[in-house]
Structure 1
Amino acid sequence: MIDTIRREVIVSICKQVFGTNHRVSSVSKITPISEQGIPRIDGCTQHICYHVCCHNSTKSYVFRFFRDLPNREDRYIHEEGIYRLLSQELSLPVPKILYTDHTRQLVSTNYIIMEYVSGEHWQFLAHSDNPRTNSIEKMKIQEQVGALCAQIHGLEKSSQDNQSFIQTLLRSIENLERCVEDGQYQVSLSAISEAKDLIQKAPWLKLTKHSLYKADAEILFSKDHRQNWDVSAIIDVEAMDFGDPYLDLTNFLCEPTPIWKLEEPLEVVSPEETRKKPLFRGYESVRSIDYSRLAKVCIAMHLSIMCSTAAQIYWPEIRQYINVKKREEIYDSLLDACVNRYLIG
């Protein structure tokens, strides 16, 4: 796994891509940063990123290198296609991709160069403990994010495979099933089997249309000329794709806590209360939500994500941090919620 790229390699790439007149003035690695305990810039396990400035250019650049080999060239094609969709179909601000390379002549991995776009991550600005923004600004930022996601979900195409989400869910649950059969967790195999059966039969998982969904793409904000926070760019879109738009709403529901950190099943306790949340209020200003279906997708997605991590118990470097008893309690409660409350019908 590649962990760093030497400055002289980046200088050579700059000369090759932009010409010898582009002289590098600074190279800084983009690393996770927190401010007052609030994540401001997230780290990335797949890429190594650098912010690069040149003496004779008013613009600066992001150089993003893949950590692992082999890399697939179609990742770049997909990412460029998503940026093009967002820009051309929705007129949303995105960074311009300037160059991609998979020849590995100057560096032993694939890389991509794009314009650097300044801005703050919306989760950082909207965090309840962030003193940079007041309560009204936090609310308006969340409403904008909700409305923006509804716009993105408006890009639809006919579903060629309405079983894809079902198959993803089943693979995750089978991951837990194998661990239980191997004696790693004490969880009811009959409950696992019943959940799998219900998922295979669930009509609400079979969509005739798929929407473009945000996934873990980042939405940046900066202040406009009136000193109001506004969207400056959507970045890191490589995971965006067409599928079930309620996957984004599932993440909204547990914001700011990642779903995999929840110790209780993720539930839509009350549609009325959920509608009052700024993210959902902004979303529903553009697009309606079926809260009955959302409740089912939330619990299925939470189960899927937790089951997908079950095999971590075989990894020595992670096993020492796993509270097996707590994991078993979470699996039991999720399976109970799925089988007895949500996945039926």
Structure 2
Amino acid sequence: MRRTAAVLLTLALSFATVPAYAHPAEPAADRGAGLDWAQTVLDSDQSFRGLDAVSRRTAWVTGESTTDGPGSVWRTTDGGDSWQNVSPPESDGLLFRDVEALGARSAVVLAIGPGEASRIYRTADAGKTWHETFRNRTEQAFFNCVDFYPGGRRGLAVSDPVDGKFRILSTDDGGRSWSVQSPAGMPDSTGEANFSASGDCLVIRGHNAWFGSGGSAARVFRSSDLGRTWTASDSTIPAGEAAGVFGLAFRTPWQGVAVGGDFDAPADGGDASAYTGHERTWTNGGDLAHLGEDAAWVSVLPGTLVVVGESGDTAGSSISHDGGRSWTEFSKAGFHTLDCTIDFSCWAAGGDGRVGRLQWRPGGIGAQ
């Protein structure tokens, strides 16, 4: 989203290994939750907004410079003990807002922006080499998020509306080539836009895909035919120029949550979450004490989710044990993006070049 990208920028290519620098974890607001973030700073000039965790050992993060320097891509394979800068060359000014890991060595990253600023890069050798596989040539288009179906061959990317309809880009070869889909299957979305806040404005689970919107309406768009046709439902999250759905997370193809808020009023988390149990109808969830930029399910704990957000002086992390119906803030540490893996590991990344690992303290809800 054009305005959002500008607002977020104001807030916030070597292979040399950077040793982790651990900051003291923020104290949990609710000690009963048994949660803390262990934080590491990779590059304080970066605002990280893309994250994909492969396992408890391997994760990728992407970001953008807050001083008009190069955007960056980082990778760890030792659980965050060390990180490698594996950025594409000539990335000055690029805003890497999303990364989708197709494995420990393969990944696709999305740079956002109007016109040719929207680009997609792909690596198959752990970031040693990158290939630019898409560059947007339509000035109206502004791509925000990318994701892949199971198997990693079919993928989608979503852009702000062009001529009144969201634009969908697709690949069938793992991101090596991309094509713009026909707008015939997209409902009218005049006045709406995506938010590239966390890299999860578009998510895929099974054969279903969803993306969220804001602006004139805050809706969730759903496709069950590999992204060719879409239907839209009211998210119940308030809409506005800088408000709407920022992130989505689905535990199954029918059980999901949407989180969001208003970047113009980041301390107001009222009505900033919603949940669904049957794909098409959304119910207003619990209020948040902070923005909901991203959410993730803790897969081994049914009904448990974590949500994060940060904007200016307002930041926080919250947990739900009832599928998003209610939330408890457990830390004042906030992040832009979040991912949890099937091996009970949760990662987050945000402003000031920070990455975090969620620590489950003895007596808490799990063990890290």
Q: TM-score, normalised by structure 2?
A: 0.25
Q: What TM-score does the superposition give when structure 1 sets the normalisation length?
A: 0.27
Question: In proportion to residue count, which structure has more strand?
Answer: 2
